[in-house]
Structure 1
């Protein structure tokens, strides 16, 4: 492939080293995926069912759960297939579909966290304007715009990526990623993809991160001037978001930084960090919000009590 081709298949090279552990890895992977689905479905169901939770903050939390389910479904089923496979081959079209799903999830995760920060900022710093700025129509519009931006930007990235002539087919990751395919390109200019990638990263990672930091600086200033009771309530609603934001930011940064290096030199670290940003937020986000926000926790407990009564009506 010296002159470059459009290969029909790609080969994952990391799985061969763990073939003897494949059944153990399948059990672990299925357990993690089942937990992610269960936790996030519970959060979404509770917010959807309870009318008292039909407020911007809880709607955005449910959107976060839906997005975590979306990203996990783009990763885990294919991962289980590859663990059990003897060849670890993925078709070109399936590879690009996986890239689209995983990176759309990554973009949407940050935009939703940004909207949640804006919601808390308006509620705490501009409470009199809250119902005008964060009503149901405005919240729906923000969510639609954020979703469309991620879908369109990744659609453009896939369009240019699919046109690259490639001089290799081996991908040293557990899934298809944008950079792993770009590294296989022949000695041709990738400036268009690099510019697009820089623009998308800036608008979906760096700018939102700066905005989130700004909102919390403003919230901190307001809390310092307020009563102890007000600070307690503000901390109660903001702390879960801060934990989720820091968790996802660290995981994403580690994956982006490590993906630029040769995975053979840092194989175990590469495997861990390549899945961290897909697994940890999807597991911990529903736990953090389900356990820390009293309204959601109360309705989840009620849901389990009703379920127990339905199964054991005579106890």
Structure 2
């Protein structure tokens, strides 16, 4: 570690190997970020503007897309600036803020997936009680839960991290992560509180995972008995399962590599693992839901048909 008494600026070393092809990488990254913005904003606007889509499942999906925009905006603009800059640095406060966004984005995704699983459980396993249980008030509570829980947890995480005395300023990633900042703490610094909160966070979100497994055990059991429920499961639950599996694979790979991975691997491979959860889910989720859910697909096809009709008239 560097002998740093007061850290004001962090250096991000994950981008060092991109010197020879930064312009190309900048172009493709900018185009990809534009795609993320387009597909997510399009789906959000379709859901907001179409009153037929003002149902719990679509509102949760809208929240899912908003969270995708939130997380990617915490990474891509800074990354694009770094590609154009000769030195990749970030202020201490900026680093903590980015770490907060990255973690809260990832955990909000899991929380939203959990409430979406609960919604599907009620819709398929308890259809007669669905509207009495999934009221507007309950819907608001679930949306608030999926956003406020990670925000509160990681506010505490970042607050505790901000009080640590650091003896290093080099972050070997493309972006700031709370765990990496904690690892830069001086040897004599007490990090017990950070560890306790970290394990508590892991427990909370592992519980989310078990809850999702529990709901799908009931969903599969119910759908095996009925052809109608099986069709509903294939239409509404399969996109959810694909999103869940993609998210879990991306996050678990990153967390495992961050703690146990070898630093002998190529930097480009390390970078891909680190940003996988910012690359695949934000584009894949709106596309899967857009094409799989009938109401949204019909709405998109309707808009395309109207556009073609207007073009022919001109």
TM-score, length-scaled by structure 1:
0.95
| Structure-1 separation of matches of 2:162 and 2:258 | 20
| Structure-1 separation of matches of 2:92 and 2:238 | 42
Partner of 1:254 in structure 2?
A: 253
SS in 2 for 1:186: coil
> Does structure 2 retain, via aligned residues, the 8 Å contact 1:44–1:66?
yes
- CA deviation after TM superposition for structure 1 residue 308, in Å: 3.9
- CA deviation after TM superposition for structure 1 residue 3, in Å: 7.2
> Does structure 1 retain, via aligned residues, the 8 Å contact 2:40–2:66?
yes
SS in 1 for 2:264: coil
| Structure-2 separation of matches of 1:190 and 1:297 | 50
SS in 1 for 2:90: strand
1:80-229 to structure 2, matched below 5 A, reads 80-187=80-187, 188-203=189-204, 205-226=205-226, 228-229=227-228
1:31-42 to structure 2, matched below 5 A, reads 31-42=31-42
- CA deviation after TM superposition for structure 1 residue 120, in Å: 0.2
SS in 2 for 1:14: coil
What per-residue deviation string (whole Å, max 9, x for no partner) do you get for residues 110-148 of structure 1?
Answer: 000000000000111111111011122211111112211
> Does structure 1 retain, via aligned residues, the 8 Å contact 2:4–2:167?
yes
| Structure-1 separation of matches of 2:275 and 2:292 | 25
CA 1:163–1:290: 2 relative to 1, 3 Å:
same
SS in 1 for 2:280: helix
> Does structure 2 retain, via aligned residues, the 8 Å contact 1:117–1:215?
yes
What per-residue deviation string (whole Å, max 9, x for no partner) do you get for residues 197-226 of structure 1?
Answer: 1111221x2111111111111011111222
- CA deviation after TM superposition for structure 1 residue 301, in Å: 1.6
- CA deviation after TM superposition for structure 1 residue 101, in Å: 1.1
Partner of 1:55 in structure 2?
A: 55
CA 1:2–1:313: 2 relative to 1, 3 Å:
closer
| Structure-1 separation of matches of 2:43 and 2:77 | 22
Partner of 1:243 in structure 2?
A: 242
Which runs of no fewer than 5 residues in structure 2 stay unpaired? none
SS in 1 for 2:313: coil
Please report the RMSD computed on the Cα atoms of aligned residues, expressed in angstroms: 1.6
What per-residue deviation string (whole Å, max 9, x for no partner) do you get for residues 269-298 of structure 1?
Answer: 321111011121101000110011111111
What per-residue deviation string (whole Å, max 9, x for no partner) do you get for residues 291-314 of structure 1?
Answer: 11111111112223334445x262
| Structure-2 separation of matches of 1:2 and 1:13 | 14
Which runs of no fewer than 5 residues in structure 1 stay unpaired? none
Deviates more, 1:130-139 or 1:172-181: 130-139
CA 1:150–1:231: 2 relative to 1, 3 Å:
same
- CA deviation after TM superposition for structure 1 residue 233, in Å: 2.0
| Structure-1 separation of matches of 2:145 and 2:230 | 32
> Does structure 1 retain, via aligned residues, the 8 Å contact 2:26–2:83?
yes
What per-residue deviation string (whole Å, max 9, x for no partner) do you get for residues 156-200 of structure 1?
Answer: 111000111111111110000111111111112211101101111
> Does structure 2 retain, via aligned residues, the 8 Å contact 1:26–1:83?
yes
Partner of 2:25 in structure 1?
A: 25
| Structure-2 separation of matches of 1:180 and 1:114 | 28
SS in 2 for 1:10: strand
Partner of 1:264 in structure 2?
A: 263
